[in-house]
């Protein structure tokens, strides 16, 4: 990225942010050196008459691909963003003007070795859909199979890398110059965004994700995953089966096709729960536009660019969280949250317990069928955020998936309740992972690990002793507040010295008063001894009072 390009993009970002009323970013956070100076040169714009959350969404849409994707990812993080922002950013529409057919044809020729007309039997010149990363065209393979061809927008990779570099620079500045930047770990967030976005840019990853989920549901007829045609796919072109069916939010069409909407809601919940609990690998963008329903009620799910992963430990933590909530056990809930969340600052356990008790009391006595799973999990994530607990990104993504699936189920059937439906799945997962066979397998694995450590320990100890003998091992400690500790030590040392001097003075004067009585001592000498003795007593009394006061 050249300096001129970077400067131009900074100018554009400043213009858009200023237009939507976000000039406080550089006035409150002190980044006027970067954006403020540019804003002054190009002139301020009047802000839009919307809430700040709406204006942020509009700014992301105007800034393009990177910021749309960052906004979409932030909408999955209720542990980091207030709920009104999460709700608004979840509305971000990934639409963009279609790329000219000539550019698409050139990309296909470069990737597949020939123009669309020679590679495919037929190829639609008009795009069916155009997003910020890629656009989709209908086509027919030489064998006669109808497909859709997803082609990445030309030049999008360099633009994304440019934007990620700018976001990284801003994050580094804010992390090192503001307390909020440090607590939110903005550099880590930008790295997380960059990883997710680069994965979406690589269309082969989307194909691999689809094939993995298809393999995991090979014996489950509820879900249909589009087939990937790898001989017509590369990193920038993805060819897959053309999916037809009724859109899942078209209730009139579902009713006309005779599809039972309650059964369909249960089927969608089943798909989500099996992915999360059994497979630990799930479709992370289950909005209604990605669901199609066949005439036999089978659900077809498309767009596997965004996925989440949960290892067994995270899945067990998710089940334990649900168990703690149903039992109104705030202490267990705290233990799970502290075990899951990386503390971004000091955590006051008592204050956290108070907030969680208040949260659980809100659901106490409410019938299970009336509790919203998505809202409950969002409340827990928001409480974690207030106490600077950063939950694992994939676990927070599960919260979004559950909320979206719950909303889709309620739209299909207002009487559908996800928590009630999910109870058998949670019980089965718990039984499967705590059966005698599962526990014996864990003990066996632990024994193997322990044996490995035991066999390797002597060698490690020998290496450690060798490092000590050669002076290669150094231990470094760091004090949080060295100035305060230094003052405390100096004060204590001064008191000790004063105590020694006072004690010595009193003892010496006492001995002198008893053993040394020169002629005329009842005059000035006696007065001097008594005065010094009184001073010693006063000094000792003052020291005793100081010790008592400091102990309190």
Catalytic residue numbers?
285
Write the DSSP string, 6-41: HHHHHHHHHHHHHHTT-THHHHHS--IIIIIHHHHH
Radius of gyration, alpha carbons of the chain: 34
Which of 430, 419, 428, 429 is CA-nearest to residue 325? 419
Q: Find out whether 228 and 237 touch, Cβ atoms under 8 Å.
A: no
Which of 249, 229, 225 is CA-nearest to residue 303? 225
Question: Which tokens sit at 207?
Answer: 């194909």
Dihedrals phi, psi of 127, to nearest 5 degrees: -70, 140
Q: Under DSSP, is residue 149 helix (H, G, I), strand (E, B) or coil? A: strand
Which residue shows structure tokens 């078209």? 250
Query: What is the phi-psi region of residue 318: left when phi exceeds 0, alpha when psi lies from -120 to 50, beta otherwise?
Result: alpha
Q: How far apart are the first and last CA of the chain?
A: 62
Q: How many CB atoms lie within 10 A of CB 40?
A: 12
User: How far apart are alpha carbons 318 and 547 in whole angstroms?
Assistant: 51
State the sign of the Cα–Cα–Cα–Cα dihedral 353, 357, 363, 367: positive
Question: Which tokens sit at 123?
Answer: 């190829």
Q: Under DSSP, is residue 88 helix (H, G, I), strand (E, B) or coil? A: helix
**β-strand pairing of 299-301 with 223-224:** parallel
Question: Which tokens sit at 479?
Answer: 């004090």
Q: Under DSSP, is residue 139 helix (H, G, I), strand (E, B) or coil? A: strand
Cβ burial of 311 (10 Å; 0-12, 13-18, 19+) is exposed
User: How far apart are alpha carbons 263 and 267 in whole angstroms?
Assistant: 6
Q: Find out whether 320 and 434 touch, Cβ atoms under 8 Å.
A: no
User: How far apart are alpha carbons 216 and 534 in whole angstroms?
Assistant: 90
Query: What is the phi-psi region of residue 464: left when phi exceeds 0, alpha when psi lies from -120 to 50, beta otherwise?
Result: alpha
Q: How many CB atoms lie within 10 A of CB 108?
A: 27
Q: Under DSSP, is residue 80 helix (H, G, I), strand (E, B) or coil? A: coil
User: How far apart are alpha carbons 81 and 91 in whole angstroms?
Assistant: 15
Burial 375-388 (b: 16+ CB within 10 A, else e): ebbbbbbbbbbebb
Query: How far from 92 is each of 18, 55, 72, 518, CA to CA, in Å?
Result: 20, 12, 7, 101
């Amino acid at each position: 990225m050249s300096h001129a390009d970077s400067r131009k993009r900074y100018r554009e970002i400043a213009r858009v942010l200023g237009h939507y009323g976000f000039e406080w970013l550089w006035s409150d956070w002190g980044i006027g050196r970067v954006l403020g100076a540019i804003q002054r040169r190009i002139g301020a714009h009047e802000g839009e008459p919307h809430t700040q959350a709406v204006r942020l969404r509009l700014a992301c849409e105007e800034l393009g691909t990177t910021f749309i994707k960052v906004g979409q990812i932030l909408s999955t993080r209720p542990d980091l963003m207030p709920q009104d922002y999460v709700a608004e950013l979840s509305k971000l529409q990934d639409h963009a003007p279609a790329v000219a057919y000539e550019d698409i044809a050139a990309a296909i020729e470069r990737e597949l070795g020939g123009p669309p007309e020679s590679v495919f039997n037929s190829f639609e010149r008009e795009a069916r859909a155009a997003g910020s990363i890629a656009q989709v065209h209908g086509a027919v393979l030489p064998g006669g199979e109808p497909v859709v061809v997803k082609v990445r927008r030309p030049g999008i990779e360099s633009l994304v890398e440019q934007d990620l570099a700018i976001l990284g620079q801003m994050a580094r500045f804010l992390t090192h110059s503001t307390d909020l930047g440090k607590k939110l770990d903005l550099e880590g967030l930008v790295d997380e965004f960059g990883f997710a976005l680069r994965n979406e840019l690589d269309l082969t990853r989307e194909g691999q994700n689809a094939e993995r989920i298809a393999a995991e549901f090979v014996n489950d007829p509820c879900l249909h995953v589009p087939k990937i045609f790898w001989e017509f796919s590369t990193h920038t072109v993805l060819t897959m089966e053309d999916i037809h069916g009724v859109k899942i939010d078209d209730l009139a069409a579902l009713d006309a096709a005779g599809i039972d909407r309650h059964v369909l809601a249960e089927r969608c919940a089943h798909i989500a729960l099996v992915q999360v609990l059994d497979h630990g690998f799930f479709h992370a963008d289950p909005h209604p536009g990605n669901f199609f329903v066949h005439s036999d009620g089978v659900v077809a799910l498309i767009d596997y660019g965004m996925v989440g992963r949960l290892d067994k430990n995270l899945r067990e933590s998710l089940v334990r969280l649900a168990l703690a909530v149903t039992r109104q056990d705030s202490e267990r809930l705290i233990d799970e949250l502290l075990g899951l969340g990386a503390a971004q600052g000091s955590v006051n356990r008592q204050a956290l317990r108070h907030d969680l008790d208040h949260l659980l009391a809100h659901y106490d006595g409410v019938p299970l069928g009336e509790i919203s799973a998505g809202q409950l999990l969002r409340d827990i994530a928001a409480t974690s955020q207030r106490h600077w607990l950063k939950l694992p990104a994939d676990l927070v993504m599960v919260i979004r998936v559950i909320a979206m699936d719950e909303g889709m189920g309620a739209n299909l059937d207002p009487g559908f309740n996800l928590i009630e439906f999910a109870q058998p799945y949670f019980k089965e997962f718990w039984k499967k992972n705590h059966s005698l066979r599962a526990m014996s397998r864990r003990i066996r694995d632990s024994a193997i690990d322990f044996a490995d450590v035991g066999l390797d320990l002597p060698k490690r100890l020998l290496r450690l002793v060798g490092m000590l003998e050669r002076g290669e091992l150094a231990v470094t400690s760091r004090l949080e507040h060295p100035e305060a500790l230094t003052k405390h030590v100096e004060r204590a040392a001064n008191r000790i010295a004063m105590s020694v001097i006072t004690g010595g003075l009193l003892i010496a004067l006492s001995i002198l008063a008893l053993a040394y009585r020169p002629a005329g001592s009842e005059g000035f000498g006696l007065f001097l001894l008594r005065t010094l003795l009184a001073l010693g007593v006063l000094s000792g009394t003052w020291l005793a009072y100081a010790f008592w006061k400091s102990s309190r």
